[in-house]
Amino acid sequence: MTTNTVSQGESKKQNFLPLIIDVAVPIGSYYLFKDGFGTSTLMALGLSSVVPAVRTVWGVVKERTLNAFAALILFVNVAGLLLSFVAGDPRLMLAKDSGISSVIGVGILTSVVMGKPMMTAGMKPWLVKGVAAREAAWTRLQDRSSAFRRAERVFSGVWGVVLLAECVVRVVGAYTLPVDTMVWMGSVVLAVAMTLGFVLSGALAARPMAQLLIAEVKAQSADEPALALASAR
């Protein structure tokens, strides 16, 4: 019981840590530099971009792997950091955050068109859960099931559309709302977009894929005794 409780606590900590680093730290540092240290809005926005950029680079170095999605995130974070220090318009700097979303969204949709949905790499561990039978079932479904491959494309497509929509909303907000308001409002918009993405992609793609995986595992398990008997003969 104690072990399970500790494991669940560690799991929750790991789930919330990216939210703290990517959202709470940038917002908190913005107000700390601007109101606490009296820096300009431009400088506060620029400095608040440092932690997310460093975190992205560190993740790539630590994992020693660079898939397409990680490379895209790295590129847009570094570009956003550089823009924060060279741009002269605070509103433009706020809009660049939506630009990041748009680049990611376009990248995801492009991967769908090319037949290699980018979000599959992030979704697979949640559905396979480290189970060898599910891993094998995933490979078989990718090879044989058009419904499974279609769901893969839908999953990535939903996220691409959601991120592009989030981009439009944040650009409009960056040029119509006060800068201080948009600093925290941007994170609200992002949180709403993420929630919408999870709900829609789960209902339209992840859930059907999970059902297909379970059915495939059961079918394979049912076939194994017959195969073993045939081999024995």
Report pLDDT digits (tens) over 109-129: 998 999 889 888 778 888 888
Return the higher-pLDDT residue of 4 and 36: 36
pLDDT of residue 194: 84
> Would you say 217 and 134 are in contact if contact means Cβ atoms under 8 Å apart?
yes
pLDDT of residue 41: 63
pLDDT of residue 56: 63
* pTM of the model as a whole: 0.66
pLDDT band, very low/low/confident/very high, at 42 (cuts 50, 70, 90): low
Q: pLDDT over 90 for what percent of the chain? A: 23
pLDDT of residue 11: 46
- Range with the lowest mean pLDDT among 11-20, 113-122, 133-142? 11-20
pLDDT of residue 88: 62
Average the pLDDT over 211-221 and give the result. Answer: 89
pLDDT of residue 63: 61
Write the DSSP string, 110-123: HHHHTT--TTHHHH
**Angle 52-84-73 (CA atoms, 0-180°, nearest 5)?**
40
Q: Closest Cα partner for 217 from 128, 154, 124?
A: 128
The per-residue pLDDT for range 164-205, each reduced to its tens digit, is 998 899 889 888 988 888 878 877 887 888 889 999 999 999
As a whole number of angstroms, the distance between CA 196 and CA 101 comes to 15
pLDDT band, very low/low/confident/very high, at 36 (cuts 50, 70, 90): confident
pLDDT of residue 6: 45
pLDDT of residue 215: 92
Q: Closest Cα partner for 94 from 50, 42, 25?
A: 42
> Would you say 66 and 226 are in contact if contact means Cβ atoms under 8 Å apart?
no
Average the pLDDT over 13-40 and give the result. Answer: 68
The per-residue pLDDT for range 60-94, each reduced to its tens digit, is 677 655 545 545 555 655 565 566 566 567 777 77
Q: Which amino acid, 220?
A: Q
Average the pLDDT over 118-145 and give the result. Answer: 87
As a whole number of angstroms, the distance between CA 36 and CA 80 comes to 24
Can you say how many angstroms the Cα of residue 175 is from the centroid of all Cα atoms in its chain? Answer: 26
Residue 23 has pLDDT above 50, yes or no: yes
As a whole number of angstroms, the distance between CA 133 and CA 129 comes to 10
pLDDT of residue 15: 45
pLDDT of residue 12: 47
First to last CA, the chain: 47
* Burial per residue of 198-232, b for 16 or more beta-carbon CB atoms within 10 angstroms, e otherwise: eebbbeebbebbbebbeebbeeeeeeeeeeeeeee
Write the DSSP string, 27-79: HHHHHIIIIIS---HHHHHHHTTHHHHHHHHHHHHHHT---HHHHHHHHHHHH
